[in-house]
Every structure is written in structure tokens, then in C-alpha cells.
Amino acid sequence: MPQKDHYDVVIVGAGAWGLATAYHLSRSDPRRSILVVEARAGPGEGSMGASAAMVRDVFSSPDNRLLARSSIEFYRRAMAEHESLRPPTPLLDLYGYLWLLPERLRGPYFDLARASGGAFDAQPVDLEGLSSCPGLVPAPSRWYDGDGAVPPEPITGGLFGRLCGAVAPELLAKFYWEESRRQGVEFAFNSVVQRLSFEGREEILLHEPSKHPFSFQEHMAGRLHISRVVLAGGQAVGADQVVVAAGAWSDSLLRPLGVASGCSPRPQVLYAVSGPVVDELLEWEPPVDSIDRDRGKSRLPFVILPSGATLKPIFRPRQMWLGYLDRTARPIGTREDPGRDGRLDYDSSQLGDREGFGTDLLPAITPYLPRFETPGVHLDSSWGGYYNFSPDGVPVLIEESYGVLFVGGDSGSGVMKADSIGRLVAAKCDHRPDARLFTGESYRLDRLSYEHRAVEEEQIIL
């Protein structure tokens, strides 16, 4: 429960973006009082905890590339400075991403690598280099051919991204949480924000019982400010600024205020598999020059098939996490509604649709890796969370005149951009027009607003 009844800033959500915001906000002014309210029992237990937690700087949008690259470099620096973030359980393991590309995409991806002017570090891998990959069939001869399905595209080459790999989400969450606490940030776990309210501002007249201002008070623009953050159970705290970093559940708080996030949450599932076929793939030493190696050897990277299916290697215990971005006629929205219900009983294992393994995932994998259809692969578990899609796959940062900031639209790549996002939101709370990223670039905040949005649509969403 909150210790005080008023804070300079209240952040809703201790996920990847709320945590990084708390950290950078408290660093920019240690005297500022900050409260983070989180529905779960600990930090990073929302979609962050369900994520594959991969990092990459290979994006088509220059904004995504910059935000991700700066964050990855910050995580590298944090590792160098903190023993607890180094092996045996490192914060970052940059074993790389390997895109296995059909002819249709090979040109555009290589062009992208060239056009980025070295902004991302990528190496071509030819078909001969892929020939040692156990069980890989570059030109599939068998596939699910019901419903007039089109044949899978043959792989004609690969692209290896070097500043890419995995981050340990629990270590990242713990790092931001502990450092923020050390800097004086207060955290209220097991606390659900049910609504943001204008109550308590004497100059504002409110409808009863909706607590909305009357429309004739429009002339008070700029003075119509949210002042109470109301928790389930009735307790309320005052706030000068409220940052809604509630991930997929943000609309539940924003909509009643008439604020449109413009983002669409959709469930996304991962499947953990193990067995001899997986072991064999994990033994592969691909012909690539990864940043982090194991006793001098390269290891299986994160693999992206032409169908969009992804394979994440887990070296200890020996497993593989499989995923597949599926937006075909899938409903938008979350099952949970904390604003309406006053609770957030989100259960990642319930979101893990086991049936989809056979019906949606395997048909995207087995044409290229037919052995995944044999008893040599065992489905151990599945779980899910949400991707909160922005209209263009680039984050959204908006400020309403009510003193409410919304940051969201992670589009499935929020862990890898968290540090940059935290810097942007902190700068926004300070009313600055731009923020300085860890890698030194100055970033204009209104690029991510809707009014002055100036970003290119992201083409590489995994």
C-alpha cells in the first residue's frame, strides 16, 4: 500500500516500460516523489514475464533501430558494471539472429542492411553455409496442402544479425526495480489502479456519480487535471502527473477518460519443446561470427523461417521456444479489464493455447524442419501474453492535457527498447522536447505522438 497520499508522479505498471521510466525519472531528479503501482506481486510479471525476451537492432524503421540499439548498449554497460548481471546467468547473451530468407525477401533485407549504412551489423550466409544445419530442408517438398494452401517458399540465403540475442527479463526487471528503489522510488505491488479521477480539485465541478467534468468547463483546458489515482478497494493517492505504462491493459484506464491509445492488444503464444531433434540442433555450430561465443564456438542463433515461425535456443536446460506471429482474424483486446473489475487475474499459462501447437505452429515449421513432426520433439509447456500493436509498429508516447501520459504500442519488441523508452518518458515528464539516448543521440519526443508523428512503418515484426 502507498506510504504517502500525494506523489509528484504515479506510474501505472511495473513492466518493462514502467520500470525503466521509474529508473530514469528518479535519476533525472532524485527529489521527485514517485510511486509505481503494479497489480502483480512483483516487477516484470505482465507481458514482460511471458516474453521470449529477444533483442535485436535489425528493424526497417530507423526509430525502432535507434531505440533498440541504444537500449542493448545500455544493457551491455549495465552488465560490465554489475557483477550480478554477468555469467553464469548473464543479462545479455548476444548469440545472434539468423533470418532464413526466401528470394522475395532476400533482396529487400540485404538492401536494408546496406541502406542502414552499417547502422546494424549483419552478415550474409549462403546456402552452402546452411547445409550443415541438422534436418534443415531449404526447398520443402512436403507441406500442409489442404484448403489450396500455397507451397512454402524455398530458402535462398540467410542474414545473420550480430547485435542480437537474448536478455534475461527477470534480471532486467530486478535491476531497474532495485536501482529505482535505491533512488527513492516507492512500489505498491498487488495493487490495481481502477480509475484516474478529477476528484479532489476544488475548482472543477464534477458530474455525479461519473466524476467527469461538465463540458462547459472546456475553457479550463490546461487546468483540468487528473488528481487522484483510485485503487481497487477504494484507496486513492494524489498525483501531479500520471504515466500509464500498463501495457496491453492501458485502454482500460484511458478509455473512460476519452483518451484513445490507438493500440491493439492481441494474445501471443510461445511453446517450449525438447527432445533429441532439439538437442541435435542445439549442437550446430553455424558459420557465423557472433558477439558472444561459448568457449570460442558459435552457437545456434535465434532462427526465423520464411513462414515467420521463430525458434529460440535455450542452452540450459536444453529446450527450444517456438513462436509464430498470427494475426489472422484473431480478436483484439484483453480478456481482463482491471478498470471495470478492479482486478487483473491474468494467467500466462491459460493464455498458452496448446491446441495451436498442432494447428498453427507446426504447419509453419515442419516444411523446413520435418523432424519436428516426429516423437523426437516433445511439447513441454506453452504460455502467452499480449503484443500491444501500435498502428505502425513503432512506440507511441502521448501526453493529454489532463496530466496523463501514455506510453505503449510495444508491438512485440518492448523489452529490447525499454531503456530508451524510459529516457523518453522521463524527458516528457520534465516537459523537454527531446531526450538523450544512452548512445548519445538526441531524440525528438513528438516523433512518437499522433499529432506530429514522423515514423516509418515497421516491416519486421516477429
Ligand X SMILES: Cc1cc2nc3c(=O)[nH]c(=O)nc-3n(C[C@H](O)[C@H](O)[C@H](O)COP(=O)(O)OP(=O)(O)OC[C@H]3O[C@@H](n4cnc5c(N)ncnc54)[C@H](O)[C@@H]3O)c2cc1C
| Chain residues in the site for ligand X (CB under 6 A) | 12-18, 37-40, 45-48, 50-54, 192-193, 245-249, 253, 268, 270, 338, 344, 384-387, 408, 410, 412-416
Contact between residue 233 and residue 1 where contact means Cβ atoms under 8 Å apart: no
Q: Which is nearer to ligand X, 63 or 153 (CB)?
A: 63
The rounded distance, in Å, linking the Cα atoms of 298 and 14 is: 35
Nearer to ligand X, 356 or 370 (CB): 356
Number of H-type helices and E-type strands within the chain:
13, 21
Report the alpha-carbon distance of residue 22 to residue 182 in Å, rounded.
11
Give me the least distance between CB of 12 and ligand X, in Å please: 5
Name the residue nearer to ligand X (CB basis): 204 or 344. Answer: 344
What are the DSSP calls for 274-323, one per residue?
ESHHHHHHHT---S---SS-BTTB----EEE-TTS-EEEEETTTTEEEEE
Burial class (CB in 10 A: 0-12, 13-18, 19+), 189: middle
Instruction: Note whether 409 and 396 are within 8 A (CB).
Output: yes
Three-class SS state of 273 = strand
**Alpha-carbon torsion (335, 337, 342, 348), positive or negative:** positive
Q: Minimum Å distance from CB 418 to ligand X?
A: 7
Nearer to ligand X, 232 or 291 (CB): 232
Smallest separation, CB 67 to ligand X (Å): 11
Residue 290 or 382 having the CB closest to ligand X: 382
Closest CA to 288 of 47, 74, 100, 125: 125
How far apart are CB 296 and ligand X at their closest, in Å? 27
What cell numbers appear for 46 in the block? 505482465
In the Cβ-directed half-sphere of 182, how many Cα atoms lie within 13 Å?
9
Q: Smallest distance, Å, CB 388 to ligand X?
A: 7
In terms of CB distance, is 359 or 374 closer to ligand X? 359
Residue 50 is placed in which grid cell? 511471458
Smallest gap from residue 327 Cβ to ligand X (A): 13
Q: Which is nearer to ligand X, 119 or 232 (CB)?
A: 232
Query: How far apart are CB 91 and ligand X at their closest, in Å?
Result: 14
How far apart are alpha carbons 56 and 413 in whole angstroms? Answer: 9
Please say which residue, 204 or 437, places its beta carbon nearer to ligand X: 437
Which grid coordinates belong to 39? 497489480
Nearer to ligand X, 47 or 307 (CB): 47
Phi-psi region of 448 (alpha: psi -120 to 50; beta: other; left: phi over 0): alpha
Q: How many CB atoms lie within 10 A of CB 403?
A: 18
User: Grid cell 522536447 — which residue?
Assistant: 433
Cα gap 145→435, rounded to integer Å: 51
* Minimum CB distance to ligand X smaller for 157 or for 414: 414
C-alpha cell, 169: 527479463
Q: Partners of 323 in the beta sheet?
A: 270, 310
Rounded to a whole number of angstroms, the minimum distance from the CB of residue 139 to ligand X is 29
In the bound state with ligand X, the residue whose beta carbon lies nearer, of 367 and 385, is 385
Cβ nearer to ligand X, comparing 159 with 415: 415
Residue nearest to ligand X as judged by C-beta position: 15
C-alpha distance from residue 361 to each of 269, 326, 357, 372, 379 (Å): 10, 9, 5, 11, 12
Cα 365 to Cα 155, 175, 369, distances in angstroms: 13, 36, 6
